[in-house]
Structure 1
Amino acid sequence: MEQRVVRWIPPVLYTVVLAGGFYHAAVAAGEFGGARLAVFAAGLLALFALEAPGPDRAPAARLPAGPLLTVRVVLFAAVAAVDGSGVSRALFVLVPFTAYLAFGRRAALAWAAGCAGLLLTGLSVLAPGWWGRPAYVSDVLMFGLALALALALAGSVVRERAARAWLEESYERLARYAERVAELAEAEERARVAGEIHDGLGRHLADLGLQLEKAEVFHGLEPEASARALANARRSAGRALAEVRGSVSVLREVRPFPLVRSLTELVRYLGDDRLVVELTVTGDESGHDAGTLTTLYRAAQEALAGARRHGRVTRVEVRLALDGPAARLTVTDNGRGIARGSEPGRGIRGMRERVALLGGRVDVLGGSGGVAVTVTVPRRSPAGAPSASAVSAASGASAVTGWATG
């Protein structure tokens, strides 16, 4: 709107004034013609040149706003001085209009007051006692109304300019935010996929290698142990294949993760005559999203694998609570515990990274009686963000859990 208004209002006004001047010269022969008419036409042609369209917009595009406005006022005065019709007084309406666009509201008001004062001074000099003539009074009132309308129009143009600039800046900020969100989402997806590979397929492949190695060692010594290791290896290979298929299905179509069923199968697979694993579940998993359920399962995998690998464990208790504002998984073993001052392993660090993405936390306590790993993940809203009450519950979750004594 601003460009259309600024571009077309001055030429239209110049055209009206030019037509009015020539019409007056035609109907009032002798009063307005000759040199005066030539100066009148030359002044308007110069004004037209200032508004010349085209890529250069010359010379107006190359002149600063202040000198350009001064040139226009000089030309307006020259045209008005030789105009016998009086129509050219309307040109001064453009002064506060262009001043508003170039310098703001205060400058426009000052220029409008100057134009009104110039008109009144000219009438007082050229037409003494003009205030007693209705025609002159009507002209002054109409000129004042035109100045007010010009100021109002310029104000709306300036407001539109500011609004458009604000919108453009907002679009730029939004584009930057969208790029940042895309980068974060990509980084989060990479971290999730890496965690899936490490905690899922990687874990089963490591177990597969261990069982095959065990089968090779016991092949000629204990055929039964070797056969049992081979059976476990086949089971690990099957679970690895199932993990791959499940991950592909999740990537193709988002669907709930069967946490309780998966934990039950995991406990059944790990338990044998040397390791007792008990699972206790409270609550319903349907109230939690797939990301939370998958993360809890991976955490259980890591905690159980760590207990088997490092803890000399004979008993593990897995407790899953899904009925509160936050889901809580606790894995407690009766192994040798954690040495004081020891740093968490790569598995615990990866677990904490995955849980932190969901706004949760991981607490690890270890002593001579075993290790307790507690994972707390707040219940998430449909949009994927944790609710306020769930965040409070997660941030205030205690690291004190039950202990199994060896």
Structure 2
Amino acid sequence: MTAMSQALAAPRARTAPHRRPARSVLWVSSVLYAAVLFAGVYYALVGDDPQPPLRTAGFVVAVAGLFALDAAERQHFRRTSAALPAATAAGLLVARLALFFVVAACDGAGLSRVLFVLVPFTAYFAFGRRASLVLGAGCAGALLAWYVLAVDGWYADAEAISDLLMFGLGLVLAVSMATVATGEQEARGRVESTVRELTHSHRRLEGYAARVAELSTARERNRLAREIHDSLGHHLTAIAVQLEKAEAFRDLDRAAADRALADARWSARRALEEVRQSVRALRDEAEPFALSAALADLVRHIDDGSPRVTLHIDGSEVGYDAGQLTALYRAAQEGLTNARRHADAAHVKVSVAYGSSHVRLVVADDGSGIGDPAAPGAAPGFGLRGLRERVQLLGGELDIESAAGAGTTLGVTLPRTTPAGNGTASTGRTR
């Protein structure tokens, strides 16, 4: 028992592991058992050569044992999909083979030889193709040896030759059926594995999609926060400054107060227009943005002499997209707002230089400065932090130079998005 188990287990390690027979062939052994049982009992009852009752009873018990072995194996696979141990599978095969010999010995009809085609058939599922072929050849050789030893002149007997051919054909069909069933089972296993992988991938994709949605929401929230601060925040600051100026000069300089009120109204209208532009941008209806004109308009309404604001533009903005030009405009707004609110500057200079590979915007004032922005503990405000994020998203750089009493210089550099040569010739404009 142990030697045979090891012999059958050796090819198993090199071929397929023990697997459950496919549903399409589960009925094969039962049908053969039933046919052999019916033929044997029928022959015992009505045959020309009556059999002893004890022989018939042994025949029936042996066939019942075959049914019981099949039922036990199927019950195992109903409880679990785990493979049978090699020793157990070999033991079942040996038990079946022993019962086949008992059935053949007790069968007067002679049909029981067909049971031996089940040897390579069941071995295919338990130990793989190689073991099945070896056992099939062994069964065919055993039948041939029996004819050689027990039947004189068998080679001239048409019935003996027919039995050998039919048995060989049965063996071929049994192995072929096991091969097809195994292929079907493996294909079903691959499909089930693919479905499990797809289900797992789908769940991962759902997780990724949720993460992307979360990140997109956070990114859009940050973008809206920057837009609100850079646009509405700037104009509301300007409105507050102009209203304070109008109130201060209401009795001293009526013209200056009226101009301050006019500038406050302009800032309010400009804030409303930028809100509308933001809404149009969200609807993909944004209009082309001209940075030079926007900066000139901004400086014209801010330049009221306190501080004095000048603008210098060199080159053409052709080749830079709306996102880059808007970022430069927001940088100019932030620099001017900080200069007016905090720097106590006498003069602020805004300059833009469009180059062949990049554009550079600088807002420089001669005010009190903000100290060293890189010093430990120095934390930029939300405006500068949002501006830095905006510039970095466009692949640019933001730099700030400042010292107490020496003014502040804010610089933004952005790369050109289209090759040089498509724009107009460089010009210098100063206001």
Distance 1:214 1:42, change over 3 A: farther
Say if 2:296 is the partner of 1:264.
yes
Say if 2:280 is the partner of 1:280.
no
Q: TM-score, normalised by structure 2?
A: 0.66
2:117 paired residue number: 89
8 A contact 2:310–2:350 mirrored in 1: yes
Higher normalized contact order (CA 8 Å, seq sep 6+, divided by chain length): 2
Q: 2:216 is matched with which residue: 180, 185, 192?
A: 185
Partners of 1:365 and 1:61 in 2: how far apart?
A: 78
2:231 paired residue number: 200
8 A contact 1:10–1:94 mirrored in 2: no
2:159 paired residue number: none
Residue 357 of structure 1 deviates from its aligned partner by: 3.4
8 A contact 1:318–1:331 mirrored in 2: yes
8 A contact 1:257–1:293 mirrored in 2: no
8 A contact 1:330–1:372 mirrored in 2: yes
1:404 paired residue number: none
Which stretches in structure 2 are left out of the alignment for 5+ residues? 1-18, 47-55, 104-110, 149-154, 156-163, 420-431
Partners of 1:32 and 1:150 in 2: how far apart?
A: 38
Q: Amino acid of the residue matched to residue 409 of structure 2?
A: A
Residue 16 of structure 1 deviates from its aligned partner by: 4.3
Residue 10 of structure 1 deviates from its aligned partner by: 3.4
2:351 paired residue number: 318
Which stretches in structure 1 are left out of the alignment for 5+ residues? 1-5, 52-57, 100-109, 382-388, 390-406
Say if 2:25 is the partner of 1:13.
yes
Residue 213 of structure 1 deviates from its aligned partner by: 1.7
Partners of 1:294 and 1:141 in 2: how far apart?
A: 81
Residue 129 of structure 1 deviates from its aligned partner by: 6.1
Secondary structure of the corresponding residue to residue 311 of structure 2: strand
Say if 2:308 is the partner of 1:295.
no
Q: Amino acid of the residue matched to residue 84 of structure 1?
A: S
Secondary structure of the corresponding residue to residue 43 of structure 2: coil
Partners of 2:243 and 2:386 in 1: how far apart?
A: 27
Distance 1:141 1:233, change over 3 A: same
Distance 1:351 1:213, change over 3 A: same
Say if 2:357 is the partner of 1:345.
no
Secondary structure of the corresponding residue to residue 128 of structure 1: helix
Q: TM-score, normalised by structure 1?
A: 0.70
Q: Amino acid of the residue matched to residue 317 of structure 1?
A: V
CA deviation map 1:313-332 (0-9, x unaligned): 414132053753x5543333
Q: Percent identical across equivalent pairs?
A: 32
Partners of 1:202 and 1:380 in 2: how far apart?
A: 29
8 A contact 1:264–1:279 mirrored in 2: no
Partners of 2:133 and 2:410 in 1: how far apart?
A: 84
8 A contact 1:279–1:317 mirrored in 2: yes
Secondary structure of the corresponding residue to residue 86 of structure 1: helix
8 A contact 2:25–2:181 mirrored in 1: no
Aligned residues: 357
8 A contact 1:199–1:302 mirrored in 2: yes
Secondary structure of the corresponding residue to residue 22 of structure 2: helix
Residue 258 of structure 1 deviates from its aligned partner by: 0.9
Residue 78 of structure 1 deviates from its aligned partner by: 3.6
Residue 186 of structure 1 deviates from its aligned partner by: 0.5
Secondary structure of the corresponding residue to residue 304 of structure 1: helix
Residue 380 of structure 1 deviates from its aligned partner by: 6.8
Residue 353 of structure 1 deviates from its aligned partner by: 2.3
Say if 2:337 is the partner of 1:305.
yes
Q: Amino acid of the residue matched to residue 311 of structure 2?
A: E
Partners of 1:165 and 1:148 in 2: how far apart?
A: 25
Matches within 5 A, 1:360-399: 360-366=396-402, 370-378=407-415
Residue 228 of structure 1 deviates from its aligned partner by: 1.8
Asked which structure has the greater CA Rg, the reply is 2
Q: 1:331 is matched with which residue: 348, 360, 363?
A: 363
Partners of 2:287 and 2:146 in 1: how far apart?
A: 92
CA deviation map 1:75-95 (0-9, x unaligned): 896498247262673585466
Deviates most, 348-357 or 178-187: 348-357
Partners of 1:170 and 1:281 in 2: how far apart?
A: 54
CA deviation map 1:3-56 (0-9, x unaligned): xxx99x7343233444455556667852899765686578558757976xxxxx
1:172 paired residue number: 203
Distance 1:332 1:206, change over 3 A: closer
Distance 1:60 1:137, change over 3 A: closer
Partners of 1:330 and 1:39 in 2: how far apart?
A: 102
2:428 paired residue number: none
Partners of 1:87 and 1:321 in 2: how far apart?
A: 93
8 A contact 2:93–2:123 mirrored in 1: no
Q: Amino acid of the residue matched to residue 345 of structure 1?
A: P
Partners of 1:240 and 1:314 in 2: how far apart?
A: 25
Q: 2:258 is matched with which residue: 227, 230, 246?
A: 227
Deviates most, 227-236 or 62-71: 62-71
Partners of 1:12 and 1:42 in 2: how far apart?
A: 23
